[in-house]
Amino acid sequence: MSRIAWYSNSCAVPSGYGMQSAQVVHQMVKDGHEPAIVANHGAQFLMNCTHGHPILPEGLMRYSIDAAPENIKSWIGDQPGFGVVLFDLWPLVGVDGFKELNLACWTPVDHAPVPPLVARFLAEGGHHAIAMSRFGEQELLKAGVPREEVTYIPHGIDLTVFNDRGKGARSAMGIPEDAFLVVTNAANRGRIPIRKAFGEMADAMATFMRDRPDVYWMIHTEPQGLSEGVNLPRLMQATGVDSQRVRYPHPIQFRNGIPQDAIASLYSAADVQLLTSMGEGFGIPAVESQACGTPVIVSDFSAQPELVGAHGKKVPVQRVWDEFQVSFFAIPNVAAIVTSLQEVYEETKAGKVDRGAVAAEMKRYDQTALYNASWKPLIKMMTARRRAPQPANRAERRAAKRGR
């Protein structure tokens, strides 16, 4: 059995990282391992999870970079074990404590090529990379990560929760039963760039809704842009989207956390999910909605196209430079979004969407099957893995390189 220090969002946080932490770590406990979550968000003090593992608190610095390396090291101690990083790697560059650790980094790759700081973190620490997507796997290999140091494990979902629950949630949202309902579930964070492409989606929806009074749009996010995001009501007005046919979650419910059962009901009530992001490390809402029988429209870039199942659409893109990450994102084509919406609209109205076929393809992302097939062998490999100590500073690394 292994001691595993899992650095990410707390499993008590209903974020994408938090839910993946909960899924995998709780299965590790059942499997007899001794994991601890080293929180970078969602735990301001030491907590004990009801599943039988501790949640070590955040540090005082952003992303807990002051406390995380020490917490990982102390939890593993001299026992067989390793650390997992489920987080972006670029904020961790320059934190020497991470270089001393035996880490498997389950990191998102949402640019092409891999941003230099991501590749640098892996190289300087000699860490193992877990790719969330086949796209990420290929980009990591292109960036020079050795083949033996890359493992592909996609994110998983709980199929006992995410399944087709019918259209009953429409009444709670004030959506007519015979409406064509578009749903978008995307975090409203970031302005330069707006990674979730809210502007392009709104532009497309304005055109699509103009001559179709039966179309409604439910945007599951914080709408005011309070986390340095976009003021969505203002965007709707600027693009000409009929605000009377746009819905947002109730602010109190959204802040307090909406249960996954309710999210599954939201997906099930929809006819399509629109998620044409500029880049995704994975894109879990696309998988969740399809597991509920709802097809998706995504950008043909990064991890997104490999998630698309029956009746789904992939929108062509134009790449765009991201100066901050020193790499490329991609902007979805607005006219192509409109065309994709129209195609799903016509298929739906004609009764040609096989929701069962949409859901069936998502069985490949079942969390239990992924743990048994992928995480178990990775845990065995990482526990036995031994790395040469990494040089502590740049001069030592140059000297080590010359000595090879």
Domain range 170-365, CATH architecture: 3-Layer(aba) Sandwich (3.40)
pLDDT of residue 255: 85
Q: Residue 192: its pLDDT value, please?
A: 86
Domain with CATH 3.40.50.11930 in the chain: 3-156+367-402
Whether the Cβ atoms of residue 164 and residue 292 lie closer than 8 Å to each other: yes
Could you please report the per-residue DSSP string of 21-59? HHHHHHHHHHTT-EEEEEEEES-SS-EE-TTS-EEEPP-
Cβ neighbourhood burial of 18 (10 Å; 0-12, 13-18, 19+) = buried
Distance CA 229, CA 15 (A): 16
How far the first Cα of the chain sits from its last, in Å, is: 35
pTM of the model: 0.93
Angle between the 260-269 and 284-291 helix axes, to the nearest 10 degrees? 70
Task: Indicate the DSSP class of residue 148.
Answer: G
Quote the mean pLDDT of the chain. Answer: 94
User: What CATH code would you report for 3-156+367-402?
Assistant: 3.40.50.11930
Indicate where the chain has its CATH 3.40.50.2000 domain(s). Answer: 170-365
Q: What is the DSSP letter of 283?
A: -
Give average pLDDT by consecutive 10-residue segment, the chain, 404 residues: 96 92 97 97 91 95 96 96 97 96 97 98 97 98 97 98 96 95 96 94 98 97 95 98 96 88 97 98 98 98 98 98 97 98 98 98 98 98 74 52 48
Query: How do residues 238-253 score in pLDDT, each as one tens digit?
Result: 999 999 999 999 988 8
